[in-house]
Amino acid sequence: MPKSLYEGGKQRRHLTLSDQAYDHLTAIAKEASLSRSEVLERLIRSTPQWEGAAILTDEIWPDILDHSFSSES
């Protein structure tokens, strides 16, 4: 098993996703030639906490463009 790029390595976690989100994650991973796990790791690490909090609020979320509906996926 390759050495982790991240301090402390990675541990198995349990997440639940809709089929649509999982399919979109899979498409992103395939396009990037990465595992789904690594895609999530990088997306999370590249999002500042303040930005995540700002765009994920219930008030803002309905106005966010859902790229999983894109014809590109």
Q: Tell whether the model's pLDDT for residue 73 goes beyond 80.
A: no
Q: Is 7 within the bounds of a domain?
A: no
Q: Is 6 within the bounds of a domain?
A: no
Q: How many domains does the chain have?
A: 1
- Three state DSSP letters for the chain: CCCCCCCCCCCCCCCCCCHHHHHHHHHHHHHHCCCHHHHHHHHHHCCCHHHHHHHCCCCCHHHCCCHHHCCCC
Q: Tally Cβ neighbours within 10 Å of residue 24.
A: 19
pTM exceeding the 0.85 threshold for the entire prediction = no
pLDDT tens-place string over residues 15-51: 999 999 999 999 999 999 999 999 999 999 999 999 9
Q: Is 60 within the bounds of a domain?
A: yes
Query: Domain residues for 58?
Result: 19-68
State how far the Cα of 43 lies from the Cα of 63, in Å rounded to an integer: 20
Q: Is 46 within the bounds of a domain?
A: yes
